[in-house]
Amino acid sequence: MATQMGCSPAAARAARLLLIVLVVAAGTSVAGATYVRYKDPKQPIQARVTDLLGRMTLEEKIGQMTQIERANASTAVIEKYFVGSVLSGGGSVPSEKASAATWQEMITKMQKAALSTRLGIPIIYGIDAVHGNNNAYNATIFPHNVGLGATRDPDLVKLIGRATALEARATGIAYTFAPCVAVCRDPRWGRCYESFSEDTKLVQLMTAAVIPGLQGAARHPTGIPIVAGPKNVAGCAKHFVGDGGTRNGINENNTVLSFHDLMRIHMPPYYDAVIKGIASVMISYSSWNGVKMHENKYLITQILKDKMRFRGFVITDWQAVDKITTPPHKHYYHSIQETIHAGIDMVMVPYDYPEFVADVTAQAKRGAINMDRINDAVSRILRVKFAMGLFENPLPDHTLVDQLGSKPHRELAREAVRKSLVLLKNGKGKKDGKPVLPLSKDAKKILVVGTHAHDLGLQCGGWTKSWQGQSGNDFTGQGTTILEAIKSAVDKKTVIDYSEHPDKGSISKNLDEYDYGVVVVGEQPYAETAGDNQNLTIPGPGPEVIRKVCELVKCVVVLVSGRPLVVEPYLDTMDALVAAWLPGTEGHGVADVLFGDYGFSGKLPRTWVRSVDQLPMNYGDKLYDPLFPFGFGLTTKPAADRS
């Protein structure tokens, strides 16, 4: 067309070149597609954040700050509210016994809805993968953190973090509300099994190991979140801060401590988490000296964000904004303002998201909520999404589905069980103090009893397929009970008598035939407040079973619990006592050590008190008179090494 107007070919080419330069400079490609800086993975993360933030409406920003429950995350809701995050609460699944592929299909549908919005910002899907991807059917269920603390093995914990990340990604999930880095100072607390230890240094050691396992190890500036690749997940250090130090171990209660002691006991694991590039931090329901943590601007903003230079995002716990007041949800409008100004970036509003969005929008428009605070919150959320490559890889990876419950992960869990077992007693005393363990595999007849001997649900504890956990052998998909493991370990000719609650008369009839008995008892599953326990006694019929069997037969008691329980009244009747914690699905790990394929090596991550009257009592206290001290654990050699 230019030559027809009288221009020379050279002039026409120059004109076209100039037009291309001007178009590119204006941000438009020759093909007509708009160049969008935030979509360019070659750009620095902060440049992408700034560019995207500048394009967002108020409604889109508030959407990013909103996390809703899976059951509400329809395509229409995600598109209407520009939802930034979706979660599965404990037990919230796409269908009963859903496969990894079914999980992926659900999340793909949600993600495509998010990508279809004006700016195409992907959602981040979160779940409580606290001892494996524990909501998913067929997942590997690792020992809870208290058991991992007993291993004293950070390399093992890092591998467990990596395996958990793979099993989460197998279901399409890119974000886990883990690790719990609480320092549990009172075993009466219902979340104590989620804590690695009462000892700050041990919690730090494990925190610094599990985060690179989950998120991947990569060099990064301190405080900047880093997720190494699409086989890793974004983590969440919780619950900030002091949740393990509440009065009488009551969940969501008040932690009464000086600032010095708060920083000395409960804060150090968060320093380690920030140094390791943790993506998010979840705030505790609890209070510090009467101030609810969710409205504690001093600790959230001035300490965590400013002093510690944390650059990821801060998230609430489940419906936590409601719990600022008593009764919950009273003055909700004001509670939203308080929490956001305190430094909360993402708000977990599983069900009441329409009210939350409407209230934040109204307050932002009238200036009651500062726009700088909203922009900071959204910037932090976007920073994590960019850092984890979510814009480049928003959809689940179908090639990872076979990672869920894989054989290598189950072998890793079995190793963790072996290393977590703590041998507290091995022999009656000085007169007949011959060690009972390891047990003989070629015994003629043995007795296995107790509520926890043949029950995967009791073995796994809370946060297993459901929030509170449950009893039974048919809901985890895979796994080996302790009874099944014993049967697999002993000689094929060995006769095993099993009874959940044995009759004393029947034991007496066969008394001369039993080489020994294995008693497996402990706590029922629980989570959070439901697990608060002011007496810590062994639940019935455990004590009765111990007495029945151990008074008649040489016995080993295997205690399955999330914390030390009061055992002194029964200790003299036991020949051996093993703390198995909550070992998860791989019961073979228990049998491996009972029968001497491996030696006992675990050490107590917690002080084992004589009675609850001594609580709180922790290692280093001036008045320290435990039944078994922190760090205690008898050792044995593998049977093959014994002379």
Determine contact, residues 79/113, Cβ cutoff 8 Å: yes
Distance CA 314, CA 414 (A): 34
Residue the block writes with tokens 């091995």? 426
Residue 301: DSSP 8-state: I
Q: In sequence order, what DSSP letters do the residues of 352-413 get, joined into one string?
A: -HHHHHHHHHHHHHTTSS-HHHHHHHHHHHHHHHHHTTTTTS-S--GGGGGGTT-HHHHHHH
230 prior amide bond cis, ω within 30: no
* Catalytic site positions: 317, 528
Pairing of strands 254-255, 280-283: unpaired
Number of helices (H), then strands (E), belonging to the chain: the values are 21, 17
Residue showing tokens 């269908």: 95
| Distance between first and last Cα of the chain | 98
Neighbours of 575 (CB within 10 A): 22
Measured distance CA(364)–CA(61) in Å, rounded: 11
How many residues can be counted in the chain?
Answer: 643
Q: Is-contact 518 594, C-beta < 8 A?
A: yes
With residue 446 as reference, give the H or E element that holds it: strand 445-449
Phi-psi region of 249 (alpha: psi -120 to 50; beta: other; left: phi over 0): left
Contact, 354 vs 86, CB < 8 A? no
Alpha-carbon distance 452 to 584, whole Å?
Answer: 12
Question: Please, are residues 414 and 588 in contact by the beta-carbon 8 Å criterion?
Answer: yes
Torsion sign (Cα): 524, 527, 529, 532: positive
Which amino acid makes up residue 609?
V
> Could you tell me if 331 and 50 are in contact, meaning their C-beta atoms sit under 8 angstroms apart?
no
Closest CA to 157 of 272, 317, 246, 61: 272
Q: Show Cβ contacts of residue 453 under 8 Å, excluding neighbours closer than 6 positions.
A: 481, 482, 483, 498, 500, 518, 520
User: In a 3-state reduction of DSSP, which class is residue 138?
Assistant: coil
| Cis preceding linkage at 438, omega within 30 | yes
| Rounded Cα gap, residues 201 and 204, in angstroms | 5
Q: State the Cα–Cα distance between residues 309 and 223, nearest whole angstrom.
A: 5
Residue 273 vs residues 126, 164, 279, 364, 491: alpha-carbon distances, Å: 18, 18, 9, 32, 47
